[in-house]
Amino acid sequence: MYAFTYHRPATARQAAGLLAKKEDAKLLAGGHTLLPTMKQRLASPTHLVDLGGCADLKGIERKGRNVVIGAMTTHAEVAESAVVQEAIPALASLAAHIGDPHVRHRGTIGGSVANNDPAADYPAALMALGATIVTSKRKLTAAEFFTGLYETALEEGEIVVRISFPLVSKAGYAKFRNPASRYALVGVFVAKRGSEISVAVTGAGEGGVFRWPEAETALKARFAAKSLDGIKHTAKGINADMHADADYRAHLIGVMAREAVARATGK
């Protein structure tokens, strides 16, 4: 790790101020990706702005037909939240299965979303649930926000403040873990709101999280795992690495989608 200056602002506004003022500043929102990278000297920010002291970035509340989660809420807090468990149990369950206990107690939803790791779990949930990302400057839909591998629509100095999840009637998430890292090799989140179905896939896409329209159409006819029988995702545009080539990953998308629907329908 190279030397850097550490800042711990008390509000999101102060944090945004520091980010704008200090050259080469990075936000610390849990640090489970950034700190290892810094230790390996692969990242070397001059200023580190720790959002851990910003009380206004924390917390979970139900606001009408939405669950709103502050950016600095940890995965463990989401997993254990009675509000989330009651309103969107699939989201609580997803959070409960991110990484290991250490990661869940340090890592945050805002950090994960802003990093947009192609193998992270949350992007699939945001995409399938139609979440809105509220930043220090504006509101973005998940589809607008996630723009590519480790890429988001966030501009210079812009901070994720909270994420708003509209309620759904049914939702489920299933992931196939990379045996080594235990990140999602393939993760599929399915959600049903009235006749609207969305199926979002993480871990598999060359460009990060994406929707699977064929599966959505099939599930519109009948929201059951069986509806996906015989529907295969193409291997085109699918990631390949030593753990899984594109064919295997494409196959797993189907398997995980069926599992996610089975969970959503309680079967």
Partner 1 sequence: MSATGIGAAVRRKEDHRFITGQGRYTDDISRPGQAYAYFLRSPHAHATLNRIDAKAAAKMPGVLGIYTGEDLAADKIGGLICGWMIHNKDGSPMRAGPHPALAQGKVRYVGDHVAVVVAETLAQARDAAEAISVDYGVLPAVVDTASAATSKTQVHAESADNTVYNWHLGDKAATEKAFKAAKHVTKLDLVNNRLVPNPMEPRAAVGDYDQGEGAFTLYTTSQNPHVARLVLSAFIGIAPENKLRVVAPDVGGGFGSKIFIYAEETVCVWAAKKVGRPVKWTSDRTEAFLSDAHGRDHVTHAELATDADGKIIGMRVKTTANLGAYLSTFSSSVPTYLYAPLLSGQYDIPAIYCEVDAVYTNTAPVDAYRGAGRPEATFVVERLVEIAARELGKDPAKFRMQNYIKKFPHQTPVIMMYDTGNYAASMKKALEIIDYKGFAKRKRDSARNGKLRGIGFSSYIEACGIAPSAAVGSLGAGVGLWESAEVRVNPVGTVEVLTGSHSHGQGHETTFAQLVSDRLGIPIENVSIVHGDTDKVQMGMGTYGSRSGAVGMSAIAKAVDKVIAKGKKVAAYVLEADEADIDFKDGNFRVKGTDKTLDFGSCALQAYIAHKFNGQDLEPGLKEGAFYDPTNFTFPAGVHICEVEIDPDTGITKIERWAAVDDFGIVINPMIVEGQVHGGIAQGVGQALLEGARYNQDGQLVTASFMDYCMPRADDLPSFDVGMTVTPCPSNPLGIKGCGEAGAIASPPAVINAITDALGHEEVTMPATPQVVWRAAQKSIKRMAAE
Which amino acid is present at 262?
Answer: A
Q: Per-residue contact track with partner 1, 120 to 159, x per CB under 8 A? A: ----------------------------------------
What is the DSSP secondary-structure string of 81-125?
-HHHHHH-HHHHHHHHTSS-HHHHHH-BHHHHHHHT-TT-SHHHH
Q: Which of residues 21-40 bind partner 1 (CB under 8 A)?
A: 40
Q: 3-state class of 150 per DSSP?
A: coil
Q: Which is nearer to partner 1, 9 or 205 (CB)?
A: 205
Contact 95, 186 (CB under 8 A): no
Q: Which is nearer to partner 1, 155 or 247 (CB)?
A: 247
Q: Is 43 in the site for partner 1 (CB under 8 A)?
A: no
Q: Give me the helix-helix angle, 89-96 and 122-129, nearest 10°.
A: 170
What is the DSSP secondary-structure string of 2-64?
---EEE--SSHHHHHHHHHHSTTEEEESS-TTHHHHHHTTS---SEEEEGGG-GGG--EEEET
Single residue of 244, 250, 253, 260 touching partner 1 by CB under 8 A: 244
Q: Is 180 in the site for partner 1 (CB under 8 A)?
A: yes
Q: Is 251 in the site for partner 1 (CB under 8 A)?
A: yes
Single residue of 41, 63, 222, 236 touching partner 1 by CB under 8 A: 41
Q: Is 248 in the site for partner 1 (CB under 8 A)?
A: yes
Single residue of 122, 146, 173, 176 touching partner 1 by CB under 8 A: 176
CA gap 230, 144 in Å, rounded:
31
Q: Is 44 in the site for partner 1 (CB under 8 A)?
A: no
| Among 12-20, 51-59, 141-149, 239-247, the segment contacting partner 1 (CB under 8 A) | 239-247
Single residue of 101, 179, 230, 266 touching partner 1 by CB under 8 A: 179
E strand intervals along 118-159 = 132-135, 139-141, 146-148, 151-152
Residues forming the site for partner 1 (CB under 8 A): 1, 3, 40-41, 176, 179-181, 242-245, 248, 251-252, 255
